[in-house]
Amino acid sequence: VTLRLYDLAGAEEERRFSPYCWRVRMALAHKELPVETVPWRFTEKEAIAASGQTRVPVLVDGDRWIADSWNIACWLEDRYPDGPSLFGGAAGRALSRLISHWSDTALVGGMFPLVAADVWVHVHEKDRAYFRKSREERLGATLEASLEQRTSRLPLFQRSLAPLRATLELQPYLGGDTPLYADYAAFGPFQWARCISPLALLAPDDPVARWRERMLAAFGGLARAAPGYEP
Ligand SMILES: N[C@@H](CCC(=O)N[C@@H](CS)C(=O)NCC(=O)O)C(=O)O
């Protein structure tokens, strides 16, 4: 069975920029599972209707359609137990759930106002009106206004990374000596930003930046090879 992943794409088909889809790309590589990705745009709701919801990532495994990055990670762990573990056991799975939720709120939520205007530059023409309307509602501001505020907001975002930074000062990965799903859950948002924004989110000597380098190099440079900005 070939696994199929609906993966958010921009105007250029190769620009894949969803933080949640990147978690799944990394998890699949960790599990050593080949995947066929299908470029998907925000407004192509019919293509994923079989998943019973409207967002990506959506993984198709045989006749099963699985939505949501966390559900997909659990599916891969349970359905393919022979591959390397994504959680390192039941306790690791439970703790990874916290990391995933923290990443959704602190990382995606913290980065969103910083990079939203840059996302708009890269979304497909047919998605632009939908993206602007839905995201300006979420921002409570125009995309242009969010861009003006971002220099003043960046230090606050960097300070919010304190727990991640303190951990990565002492160990190379959230998983310890080797990466686990928790690393992919936290890395997804950084890869999202990298794929669509020239903004330098991190100082180069930040331990978080050094961990990001390791994640970009993982699996033969899978994430590094994706169209994006430096680093
Ligand atoms: N909780 C979901 C979130 C998925 C999500 O928000 N995906 C975005 C792309 S980054 C999406 O498909 N948005 C569609 C839309 O805004 O209409 C997960 O972890 O997979």
Average pLDDT along the chain, 231 residues, taken 10 residues at a time: 94 97 98 98 98 98 98 98 97 98 97 96 96 96 94 95 98 98 98 97 97 98 96 77
Closest CA to 20 of 48, 57, 51: 57
pLDDT of residue 230: 86
> How far away, in angstroms, is 55 Cα from ligand 1 center?
4
* Most informative mutation of 21, 56, 139, 187 for ligand 1 (most atoms within 8 A of CB): 56
Residue 57 Cα: closest atom of ligand 1: 20
Assess whether the C-beta atom of 51 lies below 6 angstroms from ligand 1.
no
Which pLDDT belongs to residue 46?
Answer: 98
At residue 218, the pLDDT reads: 98
Using CA atoms, how far apart are residues 181 and 159, in angstroms rounded to an integer?
24
Q: What is the pLDDT of residue 47?
A: 98
pLDDT tens string 114-158:
999 999 999 999 999 999 999 999 999 999 999 999 999 999 999
Residue 221 and residue 103: Cα distance in Å, rounded?
22
- Residue 59 alpha carbon to ligand 1 centre in Å: 13
pLDDT at position 199: 96
| β-strand pairing of 58-61 with 3-8 | antiparallel
Residue 127: the pLDDT is 96
Burial 3-33 (b: 16+ CB within 10 A, else e): bbbbbbbbeeeebbbbbbbbbbbbbbbbbee
Rounded to whole angstroms, the Cα distance separating 218 from 49 reads 33
The reported pLDDT for the residue numbered 131 is 96
Confidence (pLDDT) at 75: 98
Q: Are 35 and 142 in contact (CB under 8 A)?
A: no
CA–centroid distance, residue 53 to ligand 1 (Å): 10
Cβ of 56 closer than 6 Å to ligand 1, yes or no, is yes
**Which residues are CB-neighbours of 196 under 8 A, at least 6 positions away?**
10, 15, 17, 115, 118, 119, 121, 122, 228, 229
Partners of 59 in the β-ladder: 5, 66
How much is the pLDDT for 231? 77
Helix axes 109-122, 181-196, angle to 10 degrees: 40
Cα–ligand 1 centroid distance for 20 (angstroms): 7
Whether pTM > 0.85 for this model: the answer is yes
